[in-house]
Chains A and B, each alone.
Chain A
C-alpha cells in the first residue's frame, strides 16, 4: 500500500474543496435569485400568493436540510428522473437557501417605514416600482449583514451533500480516511479548511453590522 504524505492528503482535500466552493456559490447565487422571487410573493398584494410563499418558507425551514437532499436525490429518481448527485445537491441547497433568504429579507423589507409605501403609492407607483426604486434600495443596507452571515450556513450546509455521494470536502475526507487510516489528521485539515472559508464571512458580516449601526446612529 502506498504511503500518503501530509501534502498528498492536503492536496486532495484542497482539490475537493473547490467543489465545496462552487456548490456554495451556486447555491447562494441561485438561492438569492429564487429568494428574491419568493420575497416578492411573500410581501406582494395577492393573499393567495402570500400564503403559498409562506407555506414554502415554513416547509423548508421546518424540515432538515438532509431530508430535503434525500428527497431531491431519491425522490426525483423515483419519479423517473435520473438526477446526478451534483444536480440534486444544487437544487436542494438552492431551494433551502431561497427559503431562508426570503425570510431574512422579509424582515428587512418590513423594517422600512410604512410612510415610504404610502408616499410612493400616492405618487402612482405600482408594487414592483415601489419595491425596485424605493423599498429595496433602503432594505438592502439592512439586509447585507444578515445575508453575508447566512452565507456561512450555506457553506456548512454543503457538507451534508456528501451523503448523497457528491464529492466535495466532506465526502473527500471520508474517502481519504478510508485510504490512509489517519482520521484525526484528515478531519483536522478538513475542519481547518471549513474554518478558513467561513471565518472571513463571519468577520465581514460583523464588520458590516457595526458599520451599518454606526451609520444608523449618525442620522
Chain B
C-alpha cells in the first residue's frame, strides 16, 4: 500500500478552483519533485496534505492516517508527515536546540533528558551540532533552514513535505540545504518537494510531477520528464527554466 494517497482532491479559494481533482500515490522511500508555474497549485497541494489548507472534496491519507478536519485526526496525521517552509519559521524566542526539542517534549511527552540528546543528534545530522545554543537570528538563512529540517526530523515523521525550501536563500546558501535533503533522500526518507531547483530534481528524485492549472499534467521519472516532455505546456515550462 502507498504511504501517501491523494484521491480526487479539489480545493477552491472563493471562485478560484486551485486544485481540480488531484490523484497521486507515493510509496514509502520515494522522492518526488513537484514542478510547475506559480499559481499551478503545487504549494496548495502540499499544504493540503498536512491539513494547513482544508480540502473541498476528495481524500488524503498518510500512513493510514486519514485527513479529517477535527483536531484529533489532524494531529495524528501531522505526526506522520513533517513540513519545511520557504520562510523557515523557526521559533525566534528559542535556541536552535530548544526549537528541535519543543515538539517532542510537549506533543510526544518525551522527557527532557531524552529530548536533548535527540535534538543534538538531529542537529548533528544537518551539520549544526555546534549551534545548539544559538538563537535563530544568530544563524544564516541556510543554517536556519537546516535547523528547521532537524526540528521536523525530531518528530520522526514517515514523510517530509518541503515547500520551496531554498527559494528564500541567498544563492551561495542553497547547496548546503540541498546537500542535507540529498542525504535524507539517500537514507530512504519519503520526500515530497515543491522546488525550482531542476538540476537537483533531476539528480535526486525518483519521479517528477508537473502541475499545470490545478491538475497533474505530466508525471514520470526525471529522465523522461526532463528529456522527453510529452505536452507542449511542459516543453514550454522547461524552456523557460532551463
Binds B, one of A28-36, A60-68, A86-94, A123-131: A123-131
Q: With A115-B85, A115-B87, A118-B52 known to touch, is A123 a contact of B92 (CB < 8 Å)?
A: no
The answer to whether B85 touches A118 (Cβ under 8 A) is yes
- From A116, A119, A129, A137, name the one whose CB has the most chain B CB atoms within 10 angstroms: A119
A122 beta carbon closer than 8 Å to chain B: yes
The answer to whether A138 touches B79 (Cβ under 8 A) is no
Closest CB in chain B relative to A149 CB, distance in Å: 23
The answer to whether A129 touches B91 (Cβ under 8 A) is no
Contacts of B151 in A (CB 8 A): 123
B155 beta carbon closer than 8 Å to chain A: yes
The answer to whether B52 touches A119 (Cβ under 8 A) is no
A137 to B107, CA, bound (A): 18
In the complex, residue of chain B having the shortest beta-carbon distance to the beta carbon of A121: B52
Q: Is the interface of A mostly helix, strand, loop or mixed?
A: helix
A125 to B151, CA, bound (A): 13
Q: Which residues of A91-138 are within 8 A (CB) of B?
A: 113, 115-116, 118-127, 129, 133-134, 137-138
Partner of A138, one of B83, B92, B137: B92
Contacts of A126 in B (CB 8 A): 71, 75
A217 beta carbon closer than 8 Å to chain B: no
The answer to whether A122 touches B83 (Cβ under 8 A) is yes
Q: With A123-B151, A124-B75, A124-B78 known to touch, is A118 a contact of B106 (CB < 8 Å)?
A: no
Contacts of A127 in B (CB 8 A): 71
Contacts of B155 in A (CB 8 A): 123-124
Q: With A115-B89, A125-B106, A133-B102 known to touch, is A219 a contact of B137 (CB < 8 Å)?
A: yes
Contacts of A125 in B (CB 8 A): 75, 103, 106-107
Q: Which residues of B43-69 are within 8 A (CB) of A?
A: 50-52
The answer to whether A119 touches B89 (Cβ under 8 A) is yes
Q: Which residues of B172-207 are within 8 A (CB) of A?
A: none
Contacts of B85 in A (CB 8 A): 115, 118-119
A115 to B75, CA, bound (A): 17
The answer to whether B91 touches A134 (Cβ under 8 A) is yes
B150 beta carbon closer than 8 Å to chain A: no
Closest CB in chain B relative to A85 CB, distance in Å: 44
Contact surface of B with A, Cβ cutoff 8 Å: 50-52, 71, 75, 78-79, 82-83, 85, 87, 89-93, 102-103, 106-107, 137, 148, 151-152, 155
A119-B90, A119-B148, A123-B82 given. 20 additional CB < 8 A pairs? A115-B89, A121-B52, A122-B50, A122-B82, A122-B83, A123-B78, A123-B102, A123-B103, A123-B107, A123-B151, A124-B75, A124-B103, A125-B75, A125-B106, A125-B107, A127-B71, A133-B102, A133-B106, A134-B91, A219-B137
